[in-house]
């Protein structure tokens, strides 16, 4: 018995671990860099097959190739050859495209079925191609191309559920991306759409983990990396949660783009491509285990790591201790706002968190040691932690846990509007959905609260591709009013202004069918027709709409609230500091006009104000009219595009605005201008009616 136990121990101690170095050149058994880009993994028995785009130098430019590699440990790969060598199968022209090959095994036919994105050089063909083989190592024979279930298809992903059901994920650019079931008889067609996810993403990947489905996608930025995002659902048919970043936004998914989520026992591996457009044969791969927590997942920072594929056990081969603290898994932690330096970490938590007994839930997988364990008393200040891969390598960090009100919404949002709905006795925030490259969001959500602190997402209230015929892109800067028990949402789409109507502040809203304002007013030169603000004048009973970038315009709304009195249009630009984001409020006989100065991508973006005796001006500029600006000492930048509101029945006022995501935004450059977060602070008046400067808070 002792001999047997000793042999078991020795065998366990010498089980070979694969070593995976994310981002590095990855040699196969012959010493050549692996060429399996945009690919996927199929496991048969104890062998993993990795299929991908063959992009080595010297290929026949008239053909497209799919490569195949095999491995038993996910690190050491043997090149099996190009399993598909295809000449232009649909006469698409010299620049035809074959991308993202994925291979399934169909048990009834005992055949291997390959799907891939097939397109012309202008990406107008938008189909899947299908090829089949009797063997995993090919060769594959082209069968046909088609649009799955009649929809456009570009980037594709594959998913096989725990019960063996196979699915295709495909980007249907006009609408979002779809998940559809492969016909189980032969996998040569699709027989059921599971859902349409109304996010414009590519590189789709899915995993089923502990009863929850996770979908990951990448924004439509071409070769350029971006913050990949994920959503969750209890069923593939949804409903799906809102999308959140899988990594800090400033790292752009560590330079990679999702292609697959590979489950190895209890470990899920994010597979991504690090593209090099001008030297595609040198494009590399980012494979890292993802971390799961109670309400989501995160992609760990890339470090060399090892895995035993027989057990799914993995470990880091080296560790940056700061990465452990950046991934606190307790949902009370506002992970997006964690601040780190070389020896300390500040974890912002939601208001009301009990600091006397709080466990940040640092991730201890991958062989990481973190001391102390469990809940700790943070109420008296920072706590000393030690972290490392062994007792001999522990590093010391001081960790603070601090309640923070701001940001008040989870995720990237901007240009906030706020409404107190008399019908529901709740507050509602309507923001621009942010985090999309160059403000390319296409929908509006709303969030509700009874106390201005705890906010509940109510979902999408207006989706441009689905609900608006005249403008499908650039969903920006909504404004809302409650009138005659109905709700009127004024919004930007395609640099025009529209209006949609609902019987509920939580939507859904129905578009009027045409733009309300489509061109700049006479007398203006340049600028944009954006940033509406609706205002009900309590003195006259009239309703007004303000708008403009580069100018401030105003017009009276007609009684139907979906048309304007064109004869009343006036340009009332206050001064040269005006850029955009008009907001109008009334208090004690004065009309207050707020606006944003500078560019939303600038850390100097700020809010100024003036006042008038009439809702149509002219606007008087006080001597010191700066309301809200950056605070570098607190790491707060880009504060602007505000709304203001009065708590009903009181003279207590608040300002709601966006800022660069903190602390990462100031390091992002221009992309900080579309990675913004929504904040709230008190707005106070002096006895003479002038406005006190707001100190932005954490």
Whether residue 16 has pLDDT greater than 80: no
Question: How much is the pLDDT for 12?
Answer: 31
**C-alpha distances in Å from residue 313, one per residue of 17, 267, 270:** 10, 7, 15
Where does the chain hold its CATH 2.60.40.2340 domain(s)? Answer: 335-403
CATH 2.115.10.20 residue ranges for the chain: 18-318, 413-683
Query: Does the pLDDT value for residue 381 go beyond 80?
Result: yes
Task: Using pLDDT thresholds of 50, 70 and 90, give the confidence band for residue 249.
Answer: confident
**465 vs 264, residue with greater confidence:** 264
Q: How far apart are CA 595 and CA 576, in angstroms?
A: 11
User: Percent helix, strand, coil in the chain (nearest 5)?
Assistant: 10, 45, 45
- Check pLDDT > 60 for residue 1: no
User: Can you tell me the mean pLDDT for 498-512?
Assistant: 98
The pLDDT value recorded for residue 7 is 29
pLDDT digits (tens, 9 = 90+) for 102-127: 999 999 999 999 999 999 999 999 99
Closest listed residue to residue 422, CA positions, set 650, 655, 648, 651? 648
**Closest-CA residue to 74 (of 319, 292, 311, 367):** 311
Residue 159, pLDDT > 50, answer yes
Mean residue pLDDT across the chain: 94
In the three-class reduction of DSSP (H, G, I as helix; E, B as strand; rest coil), residue 147 is classed as coil
- Tell me the Cα Rg of the chain: 28
pLDDT at 19: 86
Q: What is the arithmetic mean of pLDDT over 406-420? A: 96
The whole-number average pLDDT for the span 625-653 is 98
Average the pLDDT over 69-89 and give the result: 97
3-state secondary structure of 92: coil
* pLDDT tens digits along 665-680: 999 999 999 999 999 9
Pairing of strands 344-349, 395-403: parallel
The partner residues of 419 in beta bridges, in order of sequence, read 428
Q: Determine the average pLDDT of the residues in 310-328.
A: 90
Which bin fits 485, alpha (ψ -120 to 50), beta or left (φ > 0)?
left
pLDDT in tens, 554-565: 999 999 999 999
Task: Work out the number of other CB atoms within 10 angstroms of the CB of residue 210.
Answer: 6
What sign results for the dihedral spanned by CA atoms 534, 538, 543, 546? negative
Q: Encode pLDDT of 593-622 as tens digits.
A: 999 999 999 999 999 999 999 999 999 999
Q: What is the pLDDT of residues 443-497, one digit of tens each?
A: 999 999 999 999 999 989 999 988 999 999 999 999 999 999 999 999 999 999 9
Residue 645, Cα to own-chain centre: how many angstroms? 29
CA–CA dist 689, 398 (Å, integer): 46
pLDDT number for residue 8: 29
What is the SS3 string spanning 599-646? CCCCCCCEEEEEEECCCCCCCECCCCCEEECCEHHHCECCCEEEEEEE
How many residues belong to the chain? 698
Distance separating alpha carbons of residues 606 and 625, to the nearest angstrom: 11
**Over 70: is that where the pLDDT of 2 sits?**
no
Residue 53 has pLDDT above 50, yes or no: yes
Counting beta carbons within 10 angstroms of the beta carbon of residue 213, is it exposed (0 to 12), middle (13 to 18) or buried (19 or more)? buried
pLDDT at 4: 34
pLDDT at residue 10 greater than cutoff 70: no
CATH number of the structural domain 18-318: 2.115.10.20
d(CA 624, CA 693): 9
The SS3 of residue 422 is coil
Query: In sequence order, what are the residues at sequence separation of 6 or more whose Cβ sits closer than 8 angstroms to the Cβ of residue 308?
Result: 15, 17, 314
User: pLDDT per residue over 431-442, tens digit each?
Assistant: 999 988 788 888
pLDDT at 94 over 80: yes
Query: What pLDDT is attached to residue 18?
Result: 53
**12/50: higher pLDDT:** 50
Which whole-number Å values give the CA distances from 633 to 248, 451, 599, 696, 698, in the listed order?
22, 29, 21, 11, 11
- Residue 326 pLDDT: 86
Domain 413-683 has CATH 3.10.310.10: no
Task: Output the pLDDT for position 9.
Answer: 29
Cβ atoms of residues 491 and 501 within 8 Å:
no
512 and 499 Cβ atoms separated by less than 8 Å = yes
Q: What percent of the chain has pLDDT over 70?
A: 97
- The C-alpha atoms of residue 211 and residue 213 are separated, in whole angstroms, by 7
User: In sequence order, what are the residues at sequence separation of 6 or more whose Cβ sits closer than 8 angstroms to the Cβ of residue 87?
Assistant: 62, 63
Give the tens place of pLDDT for each residue, 566-575. Answer: 999 999 999 9
List, for residues 135-153, the tens digit of each pLDDT value.
999 999 999 999 999 999 9
Q: Once rounded to an integer, what is the mean pLDDT over residues 23-33?
A: 96
pLDDT of residue 293: 84
The pair of three-digit structure tokens given for residue 575, joined into one six-digit string: 């001064």
Whole-structure pTM value? 0.84
Pairwise pLDDT comparison (544 vs 17), residue with the higher score: 544
Query: What CATH number does domain 335-403 carry, 3.40.50.150, 3.40.50.970, 3.40.50.2020, 2.60.40.2340?
Result: 2.60.40.2340
DSSP string, 556-583: EBPTTSSSB-GGG-EE----TT--EEEE
């Amino acid at each position: 018995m002792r001999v047997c136990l000793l042999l078991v121990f020795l065998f366990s101690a010498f089980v070979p671990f694969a070593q995976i170095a994310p981002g590095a050149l990855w040699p196969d058994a012959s010493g050549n860099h692996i060429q399996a880009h945009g690919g996927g993994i199929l496991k048969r028995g104890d062998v993993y097959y990795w299929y991908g785009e063959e992009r080595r130098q010297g290929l026949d430019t008239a053909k497209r190739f799919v490569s195949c590699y095999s491995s038993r440990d996910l690190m050491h790969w043997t090149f099996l050859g190009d399993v598909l060598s295809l000449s232009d199968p649909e006469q698409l022209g010299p620049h035809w495209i074959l991308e993202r090959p994925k291979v399934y095994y169909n048990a009834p036919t005992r055949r291997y079925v390959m799907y891939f994105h097939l397109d012309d050089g202008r990406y107008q063909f938008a189909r899947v191609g299908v090829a089949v083989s009797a063997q995993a190592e090919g060769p594959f024979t082209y069968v046909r191309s088609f649009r799955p279930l009649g929809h456009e298809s570009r980037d594709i992903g594959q998913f096989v559920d725990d019960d063996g059901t196979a699915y295709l994920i495909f980007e249907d650019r006009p609408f979002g991306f779809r998940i559809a079931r492969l016909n189980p008889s032969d996998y040569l067609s699709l027989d059921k759409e599971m859902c349409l996810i109304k996010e414009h993403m590519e590189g789709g990947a899915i995993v089923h983990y502990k009863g929850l489905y996770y979908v990951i996608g990448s924004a439509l930025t071409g070769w350029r990396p971006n913050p990949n995002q994920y959503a969750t659902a209890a069923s593939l048919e949804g409903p799906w949660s809102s999308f959140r970043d899988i990594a800090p936004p400033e790292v752009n998914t560590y330079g990679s783009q999702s292609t697959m989520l590979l489950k190895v026992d209890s470990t899920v591996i994010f597979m991504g491509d690090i593209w090099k457009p001008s030297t595609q044969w040198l494009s590399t791969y980012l494979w890292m285990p993802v971390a799961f927590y109670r309400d989501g997942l995160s992609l760990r920072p890339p470090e060399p790591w090892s895995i035993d594929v027989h057990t799914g056990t993995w470990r880091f081969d080296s560790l940056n201790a700061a990465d452990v603290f950046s991934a606190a898994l307790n949902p009370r932690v506002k992970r997006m706002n964690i601040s780190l330096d070389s020896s300390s970490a500040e974890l912002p938590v939601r208001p009301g968190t009990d600091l006397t007994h709080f466990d940040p839930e640092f991730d201890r997988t991958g062989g990481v040691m973190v001391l102390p364990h469990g809940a700790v008393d943070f109420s008296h200040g920072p706590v000393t932690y030690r972290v490392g891969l062994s007792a001999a390598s522990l590093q010391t960090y001081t960790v603070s846990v601090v309640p923070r009100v701001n940001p008040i919404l989870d995720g990237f949002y901007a240009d906030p509007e706020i409404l107190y709905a008399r019908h529901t006795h709740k507050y509602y925030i309507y923001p621009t959905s942010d985090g999309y490259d160059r403000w390319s969001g296409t929908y509006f959500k709303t969030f509700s609260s009874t106390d201005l602190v705890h906010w509940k997402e109510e979902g999408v209230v207006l989706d441009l591709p689905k609900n608006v015929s005249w403008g499908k892109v650039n969903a920006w800067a909504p404004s809302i009013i409650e009138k005659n028990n109905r709700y009127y949402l004024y919004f930007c789409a395609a640099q025009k202004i529209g209006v949609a109507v609902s019987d509920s502040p939580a939507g859904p809203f129905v578009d009027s069918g045409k733009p309300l304002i489509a061109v700049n007013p006479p007398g203006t030169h340049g600028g944009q027709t954006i940033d509406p603000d609706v205002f009900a004048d309590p003195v006259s009973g009239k309703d007004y709409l303000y708008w403009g970038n580069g100018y401030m315009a105003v017009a009276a709304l007609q009684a139907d609230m979906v048309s304007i009195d064109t004869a009343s249009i006036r340009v009332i630009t206050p001064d040269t500091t005006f850029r955009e984001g008009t907001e109008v409020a009334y208090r004690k006989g004065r009309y207050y006009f707020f606006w944003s100065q500078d560019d939303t991508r600038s850390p100097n973006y700020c809010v100024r104000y003036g006042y008038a005796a009439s809702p149509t001006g002219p606007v008087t500029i006080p001597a010191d009219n700066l309301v809200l600006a950056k605070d570098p000492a607190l790491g707060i930048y880009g504060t602007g595009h505000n709304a203001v509101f009065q708590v009903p029945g009181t003279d207590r006022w608040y300002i709601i605005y966006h800022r660069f995501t903190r602390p990462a935004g100031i390091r992002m450059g221009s992309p900080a201008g579309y990675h913004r977060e929504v904040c709230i602070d008190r707005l106070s008046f002096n006895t003479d009616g002038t406005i006190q400067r707001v100190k932005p808070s954490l």
